[in-house]
Structure 1
């Protein structure tokens, strides 16, 4: 089953289970009702930020929406080249493989990312609930958090609260290899 179909099916299922209209979900998540409808019909894959907003409303991790329950497990072992390419590959010139794909409703997400030379998150800052940990294996990555710049080199790590406005750029002469871990916010 395609990822966008899984996400749409799971979103509609949990929304109806909680007797919630699309409009109420839109208000609670700050995601437009049109976008929610498109996601539920399997017409689009939501961005990480939108998925996190929706997940927060239901006290779930993002992976809840992208995992197929019949194929999720309590233990996942993967080898290089066997990891799922994730829904987060996008306009950032970044290739992403999930370490946590297939794990039943994890409370964190972790990826092996290859950020192409010149790759960037763009000029706009991003921010979302949760925490992030970046461990740079190879290359150079410039992280800007609020107005502070961190120039990461191989072996460096950076951990921060994801609600702080942040962005990144590959400033090296080659691809950057990164282990990126996100801990989605959950309502307590």
Structure 2
């Protein structure tokens, strides 16, 4: 657990959010009102007490008028080709049950550190015990998901799709959508987000 907290702190997402908010002369209340997330939750995120889910991070990025990838970049990294070794993967976890986090899962940024990227790839892990109560989210952009193992249910708009290992899906993120694992097996997949501000 301590190792996990250390990895999360290395991402400094909370610090980046605070710096961008202060740069725009926004108070926590201003940001809270803009993106309709509670002030206490935003404070917890800024202090690295809560790891924001991707949908929440997208809302924060939109409220701060920055691309999602801002939170996964290193300031001085200008590499044209970035290799992420297995030991260097940055894991992020959404804790179940806190306000504003209806979809608990784990995700790893697969291109952490690459600056000025137009898409954001993640390795995602869904635990069926924790995703059962997930709620639909929507945000500007497009998403691609490839199922590595397990079985996933995607609800997109009014449609429901059952996806198995080897299946892939590409969707418009503006439509309300949610993903959850089915059965008892933990499911893994590769997600690529192309957010639009």
Q: TM-score interval w.r.t. the shorter chain? A: 0.7 to 0.9
Tell me how far apart the structure 1 counterparts of residues 115 and 132 of structure 2 sit (CA, whole Å). Answer: 29
Report the counterpart of residue 27 of structure 1 in structure 2.
Answer: 33
Instruction: Name the structure 2 match of 1:84.
Output: 89
**CA deviation after TM superposition for structure 1 residue 17, in Å:** 1.6
Instruction: Report the Cα distance in structure 2 between the residues aligned to 1:148 and 1:13, rounded to whole angstroms.
Output: 40
Counterpart contact for 1:121–1:167, Cα < 8 Å? no
Tell me if the contact between 1:83 and 1:97 (Cα under 8 Å) persists in the aligned partners.
Answer: no
Conserved in 2, the CA contact under 8 Å of 1:72 and 1:102?
Answer: no
Number of matched pairs: 185
**How many angstroms does 1:93 deviate by?**
7.3
Q: Are 2:165 and 1:154 equivalent residues in the alignment?
A: yes
**SS state of the match for residue 181, structure 1?**
strand
Q: List gaps (5 residues or longer) in structure 1.
A: none
Richer in helix (by share): 2
Contact 1:145 1:165 in 2 (8 A): yes
Q: SS where residue 37 of structure 2 aligns?
A: coil
Change (3 A) 1:16 1:165: same
Alignment of 1:36-185 (within 5 A): 36-69=42-75, 73-79=79-85, 81-91=86-96, 94-116=105-127, 120=131, 122-171=133-182, 174-185=185-196
Q: Where does structure 2 lack aligned partners over 5 or more consecutive residues? A: 1-5, 97-102
Secondary structure, aligned partner of 1:24: helix
Question: Quick one: distance in 1 between partners of 2:128 and 2:42?
Answer: 34
RMSD across aligned positions (CA): 3.0
